[in-house]
Amino acid sequence: METPAIPAPEARSAVPASLRGLLPVLLALPVLALFQGLMSDAPFASYLLSVVGVNIILAVSLNIVNGMTGQFSIGHAGFMAVGAYISGVLSLNFKDVALSFLPVAVSDQVFFVVSLLVGGLAAALCGFLVGLPSLRLRGDYLAIVTLGFGEIIRVVVQNTDAFGRALGLSGIPQTSSPAMVYFFVFLTVLVARRITGSSHGRSLWAIREDEVAAEAMGVDTTGYKVRAFVISSFFAGIAGALFAHFVPIINPGSFTFVKSMEIVVMVVLGGLGSTTGAIVAATFLTLLPEGMRSLFTLLGAEGSLAQKVDQIRMPVYGLLLVALMLARPQGLFGTKEIWDVLPRWIPRKRRGLA
């Protein structure tokens, strides 16, 4: 990934305390600028990398709820849809408006970022409304409610003229760029890592491990679950909004239950609770169909199989998941991060948290 190393929460370093908060962002910006420069002549690579980035955001944010907090949400595509449609409609309506004191390109980017944030906040609000009643309860209620929510959003979109009904929304300005996508990937990962390293993260882990004990030790379990869920929804909304600004058309078909399950598979494959696991799994699963397509073409299956890759994708996911559950039930990295499972000869950080 383009993201620079994220400082371990308790690492003693030469960096002054006041700078440590901002330093990763400062380091990331030039890297992203360089990245953008490299990508400008490769539209297909840009598109593919953007999709990978969006999926990473989705997987990492879902991991905050499903992995760290141990709640089971299966409607992440619903929050993505909220972000995509809200920001899409916003961008469509402000398409021809520009800030006069700025160059057009910059003005476009400003509008883009604003609509991204609005999309994210709308999704976060939905997350709050969905989470508040269902997270008071323990167990599978969240799964049922989020499943319902995802479907409701899809049906609402399908029947609302403003959202283009089943035809979808087209003509959204394509203001997104790989650099922008990866800036938000970076931000999501940074937030996830910082939550893990803070007392909030520890409380979430405590809830995952034993909700009754966490409550008895003074952890406001409902509050923490809702906050984790809201943060997770926010980034799902951002992912959706980014998505809406680099694909030619968004329609309800992009945000079905299948999409939700795809994200869940990514999180489970990477290991519930592992941020780096989610990144690796999201990258792998997104590139897998492309890889299969090239493979089939190479094997000379003359397009027949290669064209059906998108249809055989889901069975492949299923098989992969079954194989994984048999071989490594805890996922690729379990609850650990990639540097905890790397070979011994690579210097590793001292583990603060499981």
Partner 1 sequence: MSAAAEETKAEAGAPLLQADGVSIQFGGLKALTDFNLSVRQGDLQGLIGPNGAGKSTAFNVLTGVYQPTQGEVRVGGQRVNGWLPHQINHLGLARTFQNIRLFRALTALDNVKVACRAQGALHPEGVGLGAKMKGAFINYRDWWRALLLTPRFQQEERELTQQAEHLLEVMGLSHRRDEEARNLPYGEQRRLEIARALGTQPKVLLLDEPAAGMNTREKADLMVLIRKLRDDFKLGVLVIEHDMKLVMGICECITVLDHGETIARGAPAQVRSDRKVIEAYLGDSYLESHGGAA
Phi-psi region of 217 (alpha: psi -120 to 50; beta: other; left: phi over 0): alpha
Q: CB-wise, 66 or 260, nearer to partner 1?
A: 66
Cβ count near 226 (within 10 Å): 20
Q: Is 209 in the site for partner 1 (CB under 8 A)?
A: yes
Instruction: Indicate which single residue of 95, 138, 165, 194 sits in contact with partner 1 (rule: CB under 8 A).
Output: 194
Q: Which of 29, 299, 325, 354 binds partner 1 (CB under 8 A)?
A: 354
Q: Does 341 bind partner 1 (CB under 8 A)?
A: no
With CB under 8 A as the contact rule, the residue among 217, 258, 314, 342 that binds partner 1 is 217
Give 165 or 200: the residue with its C-beta nearer to partner 1. 200
**Which residue, among 321, 310, 314, 309, has the nearest Cα to 265 in the 3D structure?**
321
Cβ pair 32, 178 in contact under 8 A? no
Part in contact with partner 1 (CB under 8 A); list of ranges 97-105, 191-199, 260-268, 289-297: 191-199
**Complex with partner 1: residue 7 or 127, whichever CB lies closer:** 7
Helix (H) or strand (E) holding 107: helix 104-134
**Among 96-104, 126-134, 215-223, 233-241, the segment contacting partner 1 (CB under 8 A):** 215-223
Contact 179, 187 (CB under 8 A): no
Helix-helix angle 178-197:104-134, to 10 degrees: 40
Number of residues in contact with partner 1, rule: CB under 8 A?
Answer: 40
205 binds partner 1 (CB under 8 A): yes
Please state, in angstroms and rounded to a whole number, the distance separating the CA atoms of residues 344 and 350.
13
Least gap, CB of 189 to partner 1 (angstroms) = 12
Secondary structure class of 280 (helix, strand, coil): helix
Q: Does 189 bind partner 1 (CB under 8 A)?
A: no
Q: Does 210 bind partner 1 (CB under 8 A)?
A: yes
Please choose, out of 17-25, 102-110, 126-134, 247-255, the segment that lies near partner 1 by the rule CB under 8 A. 17-25
The answer to whether the beta carbons of residues 172 and 241 sit under 8 Å apart is: no
Residue 101, burial from CB neighbour count under 10 angstroms (0-12, 13-18, 19+): exposed
Buried b (16+ CB within 10 A) or exposed e, 156-165: ebbeeeebbe
Phi–psi pair at 326, nearest 5 degrees: -75, -40
Cβ-contact 86, 119 below 8 angstroms: yes
Map residues 316-335 to x or -, x wherever contact with partner 1 holds by CB under 8 A.
Answer: -------------------x
Residue 206 contacts partner 1 per CB under 8 A: yes
Judged by CB under 8 A, which stretch of 96-104, 140-148, 161-169, 211-219 contacts partner 1?
211-219
Rounded distance, CA 77 to CA 261, Å?
A: 9
Residue 132 sits in the site that holds partner 1 (CB under 8 A): no
Is residue 340 part of the contact set for partner 1 (CB under 8 A)? no
Residue 213 lies near partner 1 (rule: CB under 8 A): yes
For position 12 contacting partner 1 by CB under 8 A, the verdict is no
Q: Does 9 bind partner 1 (CB under 8 A)?
A: yes
**Distance (Å, whole) CA 195 – CA 183:** 18
Contact between 195 and partner 1 by CB under 8 A: the answer reads yes
> Taking the complex as a whole, how short is the minimal distance between the CB of residue 349 and partner 1, in angstroms?
12
Can residue 352 be called a binding residue for partner 1 (CB under 8 A)? yes
Instruction: Assess 223 for contact with partner 1 (CB under 8 A).
Output: yes
Name every residue whose Cβ is closer than 8 Å to that of residue 172 and which is 6 or more positions away in sequence.
88, 91, 92, 244, 245, 250
Closer to partner 1 at the Cβ: 260 or 335? 335
Q: Which residues bind partner 1 (CB under 8 A)?
A: 7, 9-10, 17-18, 20-22, 191, 194-195, 197-200, 202-203, 205-206, 208-210, 212-221, 223, 227, 335, 350-354
